[in-house]
Structure 1
Amino acid sequence: MSPQSVVLSLLIIFFSFGLCLGFYIEDKHNEKKYSSKRIVNVNDYGAIPNDGSDNTEAFEKAWDEACSRGARLVVPRGSVYHLKPIKFSGPCKPHTAFRVYGTIKAWHDISVYKDRGLWIMFDNLNHFVVNGGGVFNGDGRKWWKNSCKVNKTLGGSGYAKNIKFMNIAMRNVTNPIIINQSYCDRKEPCPEQSTAVKVSKVVYRNITGTSASKVAIKFECSKEVPCEGIYLEDVTLTSENRNDTIATCNNVEYSKRGELHPECSS
């Protein structure tokens, strides 16, 4: 695969504490601006919205058509479509795109997820864009039933390392880059913890776009277990509303290369 190829996976990651996935996409454009010849509407291929039925096969047919024509696959606004695990594969003709204006919701029966880490995958696609202002709803509540009992004790141990975030375009995202070891779910201030998950060897490379929050880069690491080996290369995050962005960095050891904005003040 060429260096410019993009392999984009939308993963539902099920940790022991459960995860509610809600993937929001922002786009101010509307499907009406495009010629009908360049649009493939999932409803025209058998998709039935808002009734809880399985639309996986209809989406597969619509994708095959859009991919072969270099068209825009459109998920209409105001509609909810349920999908089982699905893979949208290329290569496709140029200008193929995925416009999600409505909601795509994960199938309710967890037995269909042979790979519990995968719901939707976009694979082997060049210069591919997913946008539209719609929602990918992983329906995390159905997984919480199988999660561990809630432990009210703060702190903990373990590690998270060798993690890479690369080639990502952000658009109006709150805290686009964040590591937070100071999680607190109480109204009153939480006491300083003597233990924390060790975060190290994290790479952020070629990440650009806009931040919805003033703090675009936030490293809130533990004083007792600081973050180490954080590497940032060619990271530029500006404000969506034209105000300047800032970085807040506590107890983190990092290095940089190329452009970095905003940058830690100390």
Structure 2
Amino acid sequence: MASRSLVAWACLLFVLLLLAFGGAPAEARPAPGSRHRRVVIAPTPTLISTNAAADESTVPFNKAAFSVHRKLLAENNKPPKAAAPPESSGNINVESYGAAGDGRSDDTKAFLNAWAKACSSAEPTVLLVPAGKKYHVKEIPLSGPCKSEITFQIDGTLVAPEDKSDWNKQGYPHWISFTNVDRLTVTGKGTLDGTGKSSWKNSCRTNHKNPCTFAPAALTFTSCNHLKVHNIKLLNSPQVHLLIQYCKDVELTSITITAPSNAPEADGIHISHTEDIRIIKPVIKSGDDCLSIATGVKNLYAYKVECGPGHGISIGSLGKDNSDAQVSNITIDTAHVTGTLYGARIKTWQGGSGYAKEIKFLNMIMDKVKHPIYIDQYYCNQFDPLKPKPCEEQKTAVQISNVLFKNIKGSGTTKDVISLHCSKSFPCQDVILQDIDLKMKGGAKKTMSSCENVMLKQSSNVFPAPCTSVATKNDHVPEDSSD
């Protein structure tokens, strides 16, 4: 009996020692392949890692400690309240590089720095100009080649300096220009305001006492292949609003251009030395040509052009200073031309060489256009409108051939609504007139057409009848000094 009591006390003492040292008997499981039981002592947990999920079936779990730890971890990972969210590598904001957008500060440097970052990115990048702000910028030359595609998204307003006296004096100055940048897209809901009023006032076309100099073009693309320009608005450029040269594969969509009708040399879109161009639904109100297609242009298609006021849609001028011109495969398809000096027009200088061929003017509505259909191989602009005189005839000229005017209707403001004035040495060849109906505005007078050295290939359903009068070069004088 005494021995049994000693054994019981010994077992009790052993259990008390285990509890005193913090151990607890775990569930005894038979080891694989063993017929005996063994005891596993599990330590009391002091910290639960949040990096690995806890398996409550095997690991003791202190819910209270875990909850406190997660709360502290969340607090420590919160960003400072004043910190801006990090800029994505594919999305660059000009304000991240110091652009104020307050309508007063000079943001030129910020734009240049943001462009440098975008151009050096190895992945496609969006360079953003935020909406609702005005960014004053001087001349901004943005050049490539760049490592990847760039989308320049202009949602705010860019404003040019009023005083452009410190701009580039060599050659043709440019306000915002892109050079040697392939796969570029310029888009957005914003506006480029060229503040051209001071330039127009000082133009030799406005004040003939002033020397003739070039004013800045608002937006220029040079040697940019696979270019897209969508939706942007161009306002009051000092001279040309949108200038495209030496590019290939160009798409212009839903561009809006606005300037007063008396803004000198403020062409809407001027294109030279460029191939494969698509111009879709532009709206152009300006003081010069809505669309000016110069030498070196090949494969151009323009659709749904809204033009006027201004000088109309022009191929040329070509051959100035005895130069060689090459223009081919031009189609203007569907246009509404309102209140312009000319409608569908081809203009070349005497003394030039080369060709303008395969040209189509289709599906056009003329509304109060002074000269709806016009070919002029005696083109020369003269600065003094008080002393107009015919251009001197020379022995060479740019050859005009394969020209189609089809489905052109509406009204003119002069009697001579179809004027075809071609060179004696190089007559216009293979000119076709089809489905033409042009009357005087109000119908008070009968309209007529005049021809000079033109070889009509075909005419059908044309009013007024083609070549009802014969003009000579002495009958043709420049319409105004700014043309």
> Is the partner of 2:165 in helix, strand or coil?
helix
* Paired residues for 1:74-89 under 5 Å: 74-89=128-143
8 Å contact kept, 1:205–1:232: yes
- CA shift, 1:67, in A, is 0.9
Q: In structure 2, do the counterparts of structure 1 residues 123 and 231 end up closer, same or farther at CA, with 3 Å as the change threshold?
A: closer
Query: How many angstroms apart in 1 are the aligned matches of 2:295 and 2:133?
Result: 38
Matched, 1:250 2:373: yes
1:108 paired to 2:254: no
200, 203, 208: which one pairs with 2:301?
208
Q: Which runs of 5+ in 2 are unaligned?
A: 1-86, 209-270, 317-324, 336-361, 367-371, 377-399, 409-431, 434-483
Tell which has more relative contact order, 1 or 2 (C-alpha 8 A, sep 6+).
Answer: 1
**What is the SS of the residue equivalent to 2:103?**
coil
Equivalence for 1:24: none
1:122 has 2:178 as partner: yes
- Corresponding residue for 2:322? none
| 1:48 and 2:100 matched | yes
Q: Structure 2: how far apart are the matches of 1:166 and 1:48?
A: 36
1:220 touches 1:250 (CA, 8 Å); kept in 2?
Answer: no
The reply to whether residue 172 of structure 1 matches residue 289 of structure 2 is: no
Comparing 205-214 with 75-84, greater Cα deviation is found at 205-214
State the 1:102 CA deviation.
Answer: 1.4
Q: CA deviation at 1:53?
A: 1.1
Q: Cα deviations across residues 51-71 of structure 1 (Å, max 9, x unaligned)? A: 321111000110011111131
Quick check: 1:63–1:73 contact (8 Å CA) kept in 2? yes
1:1-266 correspondence runs (5 A) = 36-69=88-121, 70-115=124-169, 117-148=173-204, 149=206, 164=272, 166-167=274-275, 168-174=277-283, 202=295, 204-208=297-301, 210-213=303-306, 218=313, 231-233=327-329, 235=331, 237=333, 245-246=363-364, 250-252=373-375, 254-255=400-401, 266=433
Q: CA deviation at 1:108?
A: 2.9
Report the Cα offset of residue 97 of structure 1: 2.0
Q: Any conservation in 2 of the 1:104–1:137 contact (CA below 8 Å)?
A: yes
Separation in 2, partners of 1:143, 1:251: 30
How well do the aligned residues superpose, as a CA RMSD in angstroms? 4.2
Cα–Cα, structure 1 residues 97 and 262, in superposed 2: closer, same or farther, change >3 Å?
farther
Shift of 1:205: 2.2
Given the two structures, how large is their TM-score scaled by the length of structure 1?
0.56
Amino acid at match of 1:233: N
CA distance in 1 between partners of 2:126 and 2:194 (Å):
23
| Superposed CA offset, 1:91-120 (max 9, x none) | 112221211111111123323202362222
Q: Secondary structure at the match of 2:95?
A: helix
CA distance in 2, matches of 1:201, 1:57: 34
Deviations 1:31-59 (A, max 9, x none): xxxx9442111111100113321111000
Query: Aligned partners of 2:295 and 2:329: how far apart in 1?
Result: 11
Structure 1 residue matching 2:181: 3-state secondary structure: strand
Deviates most, 111-120 or 47-56: 111-120
Q: 3-state SS of the aligned residue for 1:108?
A: coil
CA deviation vs aligned residue, 1:72-92 (integer Å, no higher than 9, x gap): 111111221111112101111
3-state DSSP class of the match of 1:129? Answer: strand
* Percent of aligned pairs sharing the same letter: 29
Distance 1:77 1:130, change over 3 A: same
Would the aligned equivalents of 2:103 and 2:133 in 1 still touch at CA under 8 Å?
no
* Cα drift, residue 144 of structure 1: 3.2
How many pairs does the alignment contain? 189
Flag the structure with larger Rg. Answer: 2
User: What SS does the aligned partner of 2:110 have?
Assistant: helix
Q: Is the 8 A contact 1:214 1:246 kept in 2?
A: no
Deviation at 1:141, TM superposition (A): 1.2
After superposition, give the CA deviation of every residue in 1:159-217 in whole Å (9 maximum; x if it has no partner): xxxx83634442421369xx86xxxxxxxxxxxxxxxxxx99756423235424399x8
In the TM superposition, what is the alpha-carbon distance from 1:233 to its structure 2 partner?
A: 1.3
